[in-house]
Structure 1
């Protein structure tokens, strides 16, 4: 191979690598991005250190739904992972450890393990949405979110409702550690 062919081959490799890195950067920026769970607020569903994939385009073409796990920009200038409990227009209430959305009791199977471990009391304190945010219903363009570890979660009960504009995306898949690999509910 002569010098001209070597330079041409090197240029082709460099070009291919730059294109690959460019595509990877675009996918990470606009489509999927990894996130690491920081803290215990989503236990037992997610644990500190779980690595997940955030789908950034899910709410570009759709809207949050009840019980989605979302990642959003919190007021503390960091990203939080929480579960959507209330959508715009929903009236939320907790009574005797039961969630009521618009007066209808909801099943929360992701909390069953924690509820069984309780020696006394309830996992989630009784409250109405009005007590927490000063409104009977979730305002338009916002969601009410809570962590699954209800006793140790900084969520909409403390920081208020979350603007849908602050939601980065939804996450449903743990890729690390390998023992937890797979979808989450």
Structure 2
């Protein structure tokens, strides 16, 4: 930057022109030197921004960076610091990896333990039992005399649960069905079982512990089909559309002294319903008391007796099917 006081000095001193010019030149050189010094200082500040110098910079000289031996690390120390930083970062990454690996290992062990439990023989047997019982077949026993003489007390049966997925029950078939306390007026006022209670009664050894009227299953024989006009007289004999049904499986009818037979019935079977009766008419609480059975309450068809061994074997389809007296043929 030029000095503004030098120019008037040149104009006011014409006789001392040489002296004035010399002083003016000296002033300009000083200003140029100062400008050069300023630029060098700025350059030095830029280059040594991270290492400022405490010594002043002379005009016309390039600034020399200075190093404090107490604060500026040597090359070996700098390399060691960098290596330490790298090692620290590697250690952090390794810790993260170990933590992730530990978590994965924990879940792996948990999964392996759960898999070993699920693959144990007892669990597989239980799962197979539940699957078969739910979808295909289930075992039942006869607790009462209502189906004598065809089925004896304590007979063990296998119930076919697949057939009625494709067709409706036929006359003469022995069917297992849900308790009428579920669908009949006789169940009014009876509390409902808790959720899952009926499933527990199906497990071995738990039937008596969790028994409930609405969880029971009944077994009877189909005697009348949807749309038929059915009558059951006081002796327990069945009439279909005005013709008597021959029932070779019934070896005992009612007499006037047996109160269970004092339930005559005369009605038309509604759609999607059947009438079921016990073979032992004097000793069976059946459709005469609680009405027609909805077909969606049927669990399955009595298919095979497996106990006792001397009477074991499959029950033929339509086992003991009755005939109409006027036709002498199985009823349609």
TM tier relative to shorter chain? 0.7 to 0.9
What is the distance in 2 between the residues matched to 1:48 and 1:150? 16
Deviation at 1:126, TM superposition (A): 8.4
Q: Secondary structure at the match of 1:110?
A: coil
Q: 2:169 aligns with which of 42, 64, 73?
A: 64
Q: 1:166 aligns with which of 297, 300, 311?
A: 297
- In structure 2, list runs of 5 or more residues that go unmatched: 1-114, 182-212, 320-332
Residues 122 and 63 (structure 1 numbering): CA distance in 2 closer, same or farther, change over 3 Å? farther
- Comparing both chains, which one has the higher relative contact order based on Cα–Cα distances under 8 Å and sequence gaps of 6 or more? 1
Q: Secondary structure at the match of 1:169?
A: strand
Q: 1:29 aligns with which of 134, 138, 160?
A: 134
Kept in 1, the 8 Å contact 2:252–2:281? The answer is: no
Offset from partner CA, 1:73-132 (integer Å, 9 cap, x none):
121421110001111111112457643212233221111x436xx9x77999587643xx
What is the distance in 2 between the residues matched to 1:22 and 1:97? 44
Q: Secondary structure at the match of 2:249?
A: helix
Q: 1:44 aligns with which of 149, 152, 160?
A: 149
Residues 122 and 53 (structure 1 numbering): CA distance in 2 closer, same or farther, change over 3 Å? farther
What is the distance in 1 between the residues matched to 2:284 and 2:275? 13
Residues 21 and 108 (structure 1 numbering): CA distance in 2 closer, same or farther, change over 3 Å? same
Larger radius of gyration: 2
What is the distance in 2 between the residues matched to 1:16 and 1:71? 33
Between structures 1 and 2, the one with greater strand share? 1
Residues 19 and 170 (structure 1 numbering): CA distance in 2 closer, same or farther, change over 3 Å? same
Work out the number of aligned pairs and report it.
167
Kept in 2, the 8 Å contact 1:94–1:126? The answer is: no
Deviation at 1:20, TM superposition (A): 5.8
- In structure 1, list runs of 5 or more residues that go unmatched: 1-10, 131-135
Match of 1:93 in 2: 231
Q: 2:310 aligns with which of 156, 179, 185?
A: 179
Residues 125 and 20 (structure 1 numbering): CA distance in 2 closer, same or farther, change over 3 Å? closer
Match of 1:153 in 2: 284
TM-score with structure 2 setting the length: 0.44
Q: Report whether the alignment pairs 1:109 with 2:245.
A: no
What is the distance in 2 between the residues matched to 1:150 and 1:20? 40
Deviation at 1:16, TM superposition (A): 8.0
What is the distance in 2 between the residues matched to 1:126 and 1:99? 14
Deviation at 1:147, TM superposition (A): 0.2
Residues 59 and 179 (structure 1 numbering): CA distance in 2 closer, same or farther, change over 3 Å? same
